[in-house]
Structure 1
Amino acid sequence: MPAAFRFLVVLDADSTLIRNEVIELIADEAGRGREVAEATEAAMRGEVDFATSLRSRVEALAGVPVSAFGRVLARIEPTPGVRELVAAVHDRGGVVGVVSGGFHEILDSVAPDLGVDVWRANRLATADGMLSGVVAGGIVDAEGKAETLGEWAALHDVPLRRTIAIGDGANDLLMMAAAGLGIGFNAKPAVRARADVVIGPVDLREVISLLP
C-alpha cells in the first residue's frame, strides 16, 4: 500500500506548473501557433467545451514529427518558485500531483525533473513518427481533473479537506471545488471569481504560507 501523507497538493500544468501552454509550442512546429493560442485562450476562459476544443486544436498538430518534442522541451519554462513549493510540500509530509489537459509526451520529462510525485495528462496518437492529429484514449477534462484529485487523495489516505488544488483555467474549477482549498493562480476571470484564494504574483512560493 502507498504510504499515507499529511496532505495533497494538485497543480494544473500549463500556465501553472510551467509558464507555457505546451499545445501552442507544438503548434508552432506546424506553423499554427497563433491560431491554436487563440483557441486555447477561449477554452481557458470557459467560452467553449474543453474536450471539443482540445480535439480541434490537436487536429492542427497533424504531421508534426515526434522528433519536435525535443525542441518543445527546450522551450519549457518552469514557473518561478515551483521547486521551492514542491520541496516545502515534501518537507511538511505532503505529496505533489499534476493533472493536465496537456500531454504526457512533455509532462513525463518535466514532472519528475521538478520533483512531482504523480501526474496524469492526455496522450497524442502517432503514426510513422508523426502526430496523427487526434488524442489517444480518453481526454483529461474538468471532470477528469476532479476525479483524479479524488483518486489520488484516496490512494494516499488523505481526506479531501486536506487537499489543495491550484489552477488557472476554467477546466480547473471542478477540481478546485472538490479540494479542501482551491487556489486561483495566474488565473482567468472565471477562476478568480470562484477560487477560495487568488494569488496575484506569478510565483508559486506564494502558496507555501497556505500549506498545512
Structure 2
Amino acid sequence: MTAAASARPAVAGLLVSDVDSTFLTQEVIELVAEHAEVRDRVEEITTAAMRGELDFSQSLRARVALLEGLEESVLAEVRAVLVPTPGVLELVSRAKADGWIVALVSGGFHEVIDELAAASGIDHVLANRFEIEGGRLTGRVSGPIIDGTAKRHALQEYARMYRVPAERIVAMGDGANDREMLQAAGTGIAFRAKPALREVADVSLEGPSLLDAWPHLQTAAVR
C-alpha cells in the first residue's frame, strides 16, 4: 500500500437526508392520515410547518393528535405504498460504493421508514415514533420529537462518529426544519424546496431526480 493510499480517509463523506418529500416523494404522516380520513387537515398543518410558519414540534403534535384511535395495522399498508424519489436509490448506491456513510433524519416515523431504509443500505435512521397502546395509535408521539435542532445534532454526532470534517458532509432537505442541518453541512442541498430552505442552501435542485446531487457529493469528497 502506498503512503497516499494509507493516508486516504476510510470514510469518503457523510450524506444526511431528510425523508418526507426528499428521500420519498410523499409525506408519511399524510399517508397515515388518509386512513383516518383527516388528510386535508394534516396537509394544511404540514404545509405551514414546512414554510416555517409553525413551530415544527407543535405542528407534529397537532397532526399526530388527529390520528388517535387509528389501528396500528394501517402502518403496514402505508409502508407498502412508499415511493422513493426518482434517482435517490441510485444516489445511495453510488455513495455507498464510494465509501460514504448515508443517514436519514426525519420528522416522519420509524415504524414506516425503517424497512425501506434497511433495504436501501442506509447506515443510520433517526425519526419519530408513534405511541401505540392496545394495537392503536394514542394520538401522541413516543419519545423526543425530531425537529430541526435534533436533525442538526444527529448530523454532528455522525460526523464525530466517523471523523468526517464539515467540508465532506452533504445534507439534503426540502423544508424549514432542515435549515439547521443544511447550515451545519459543508454542502447544503435544497431539493424542490420551500423558500425558507432555499435561502440558506448552497445548492438548489429542481428535480425530478435526486441523482442530480451526485456531482456535489463527488466535489465534496475531494475537499
Tell me the TM-score normalised to structure 1 length.
0.97
Question: Counterpart amino acid of 1:72?
Answer: V
* 1:81 equivalent among 63, 82, 87: 87
Alignment of 1:1-212 (within 5 A): 4-211=10-217, 212=221
Q: 1:154 to 1:4 in 2, by over 3 A?
A: farther
**Does structure 2 conserve the Cα–Cα contact (< 8 Å) formed by 1:13 and 1:102?**
yes
> Structure 2: which 5+ runs fail to align?
1-8
2:6 aligns with none
**Does structure 1 conserve the Cα–Cα contact (< 8 Å) formed by 2:10 and 2:99?**
no
**Does structure 2 conserve the Cα–Cα contact (< 8 Å) formed by 1:164 and 1:182?**
yes
In structure 2, distance between residues paired with 1:88 and 1:138: 33
Tell me the TM-score normalised to structure 2 length.
0.92
* Structure 1 stretches of at least 4 aligned residues deviating more than 4 Å after TM superposition: none
- Asked which structure has the greater CA Rg, the reply is 2
Question: Counterpart amino acid of 1:190?
Answer: A
In structure 2, distance between residues paired with 1:90 and 1:137: 30
> Structure 1: which 5+ runs fail to align?
none
In structure 2, distance between residues paired with 1:78 and 1:90: 17
**Does structure 2 conserve the Cα–Cα contact (< 8 Å) formed by 1:82 and 1:114?**
no
In structure 2, distance between residues paired with 1:23 and 1:177: 26
Q: How many residues of Structure 1 are paired with residues of Structure 2 in the alignment?
A: 210
Task: Give CA deviations for 1:54-74 in whole Å, capped at 9, x if unaligned.
Answer: 001000111111100111112
In structure 2, distance between residues paired with 1:122 and 1:115: 20
